[in-house]
Amino acid sequence: MNAKADFPLRSVLIANRGEIACRVIRTAKAMGMRTIAVYSDADRNALHVKLADEAYAIGPAPARESYLVIDKIIETAKRAKADCIHPGYGFLSERAEFAEACAAAGIVFVGPPPAAIRAMGLKGEAKALMAKANVPVLPGYHGDKQDAKFLKQKAYETGYPVLIKAAAGGGGKGMRRVDKQIDFDNALEAAKREAEASFGNPDVLIEKYVASPRHIEVQVFADRHGNIVHLFERDCSAQRRHQKVIEEAPAPGMPEDVRAHVTKAAIEAARAVNYVGAGTVEFLADGSKGLRADAIWFLEMNTRLQVEHPVTELITGTDLVHWQFLVAAGEPLPLTQEKVKIHGHAVEARIYAEDAARGFLPSTGRLSALRFPVGNGIRVDSGVEAGGEVTPFYDPMIAKLITYGATREQAFGRMSETLGGTVVIGPRSNVEFLKALTDSAEMRAGTVDTGYIERNLEPLTKPAETDFAAAAFAVEELTRREQTKQREAAGRLAASTRRSPWNALDAYDFGGTRDLPVAVLVNGTRFVARVEQKGSALRATVNGVAAAPSEFVEAGDMLVAIREGRQTAVKFAELSSTDLGRASGNGALSAPMHGKVLSVSVAKGDKVAKGQRLMVLEAMKMEHALDAATDGVVMELSVAAGDQVAEGAQLVLIEPEKKPAAKAGA
């Protein structure tokens, strides 16, 4: 993959962070390029900073004060004498003014021309352009006229149900489904208000709503010599709130005639805007009767590298970042269309720091343990490492897990096994949810549409049953370690061991035969385990279940036992401890995550009702309302608006209202 000795791009500044910055650095180094990272205050010790040859600070943690400031990026690139800038994805990657600023500074932008970015930036204008290029477009209205009465008439002409969509954005913001004309006015007002707040542009478009939509996208690549190729399609139908969760290539159930139709349309779309570089043309398909050429329509074009590009790389044997650098340097594409072939199947799962069982609340904190299985057909693209931090300032992605197989069945089987062996300790993660989705009958059959996850949220996010046998195994191992500490102390208990649960033993002798109660936290829930010792042999039970041999991973004072694809985190607790201040019906409300208190709606002494708003917490750029779990009186209020709070910190203590005793005979 090494570039030629006369390759003009000898250094690259990566104007991004996390996983994609690390991904670009790997390829750039393999090509012999000098790599330059930028970082905010929150990312000073981040993995991409460590991997790069050089790194420069660009400002405070908020992206709007660092990664999104064009002048800072350009000035840093000049200072570092970078030949080119790779924008990654997100942040400035689809900002035409950033591409123009690079050109003005004499720095190569590793991406498409500004005109192409602008042409595809507004959905309505892009769809009108595609219609002129004979690319199939979903029925609806994609013009500039925004009169409410006119839009309502266009919705009627399109035929209900319809979607109202923000013209300038994505990700589900500014989007409303309308089933009946009587509901149109309110939905339009809400969509416009949200579009204005999210994108600074209230304009919307109207589209026919597709009942069983599948999201099919085509990877295209173009050079400055007039060559355009496609690298086949991906299926990204497994989505939650219009955000992709699992992607695969090629699309399951894709007939060859439909593949030919959709890839040709994608190339025509790229040609219509004189595209250069890597791009993705996205289509919406009606999957109710299988994929058909007459039921697949242009959705939008992403003028950048996609998060899911690895699945395309694995089935085509290519490195798309390498291609990006070649094209940016003015070289022709390395392969012609006839030489791009599909080999096998690949699937990608996005691992996030979020709690799927609690409405996908974002989670933050130090990664005390992070481990991924290794082996043939397994690829991990990550921007964090064990000991690193998931902060509340950016997208909480931990890693992209990609598996490959000769067949789709093999690729998904490998994904299931790999997710089962993945360990994330510290912030909560969506690994269990991803495994449940991977193992679902519909996903294995390739029949998932974009609404599948929402329709099946409860079974997919239901926490796995606690593996008490694995927990007992971990208790035995923790006990052995504690005994070793006690013996090494030789009667002198150091300060750390004075906090040990074993200190409640009154100088207990670890020889002989004893049956001891021990408090443990199993996946955060408190249990009292029993440890029976006969000589040097130990036998533990948790919740009455005896130990079964398990693999385990160390995470500080915690052991994570892994058995049959399930993970059980176990640590000791004091016998007198409670559930560590977790929110419960007893009136104690604790912070569900690290964040900032935006507002407090009650004061000490206030009488509150169950469900009443107590305060609003901001974390991961989202607002989270915290409500009272019981009727009662506020006895303690530990925070005020503006305070930063740590996960688990007690915020409010409510003395529950005493209910009058029922009268006899009532």
Give the residue numbers annotated as catalytic, written as ranges.
304
What are phi and psi for residue 290, nearest 5 degrees? 85, 165
Q: What is the DSSP string of 284-313?
A: EEE-BTB--GGGEEEEEEE-S--TTHHHHH
3-state helix, strand, coil in the chain (%, to 5): 30, 30, 40
Contacts for 172-180: CB closer than 8 Å, 24+ residues apart:
172/241, 172/242, 172/243, 173/198, 173/199, 174/198, 174/199, 174/204, 175/242, 177/209
Contact 568, 471 (CB under 8 A): yes
CA separation for the pair 533, 540 (Å, rounded): 9
Both tokens assigned to 508: 């207990």
* Cα-based torsion angle of the residue sequence 589, 595, 596, 602 in order, rounded to the nearest 10 degrees: -10
Beta-bridge mates of residue 533: 514, 538
Distances (CA, A) of 71 to 68, 102, 117, 559: 9, 10, 19, 47
Cα torsion 441, 447, 448, 452: sign: negative
> Three-state SS for 180?
coil
Q: What DSSP character marks residue 581?
A: T
Question: Within 10 Å of residue 357's Cβ, how many Cβ atoms?
Answer: 15
Give 40-72 as a DSSP string. Answer: -GGGTT-HHHHHSSEEEE---SSGGGTTT-HHH
Taking only Cα atoms into account, the Rg of the chain, rounded to an integer number of angstroms, comes to: 28
Q: Report the C-alpha gap between 188 and 198 in whole angstroms.
A: 15
Residue 378: closest CA among 411, 344, 420: 411
> Rounded to whole angstroms, how far apart are CA atoms 448 and 287?
9
The type of residue at 228 is I
Nearest Cα neighbor of 366 from 623, 497, 579, 558 is 558
Strands (E), 121-251: 140-141, 162-166, 176-178, 204-208, 213-222, 228-240, 243-249
Contact 286, 127 (CB under 8 A): no
Residue 589 near residue 651 (C-beta atoms within 8 A): yes
For 342-376, what is the HEC assignment?
A: CCCEEEEEEEECEEHHHCCEECCEECCEEECCCCC
From the number of C-beta atoms within 10 Å of its C-beta (0-12, 13-18, 19+), residue 99 rates as: buried
CB 17 within 8 A of CB 383: yes
Residue 506, judged by CB atoms within 10 A of its CB (0-12, 13-18, 19+), counts as exposed
8 Å CB contact between 518 and 539: no
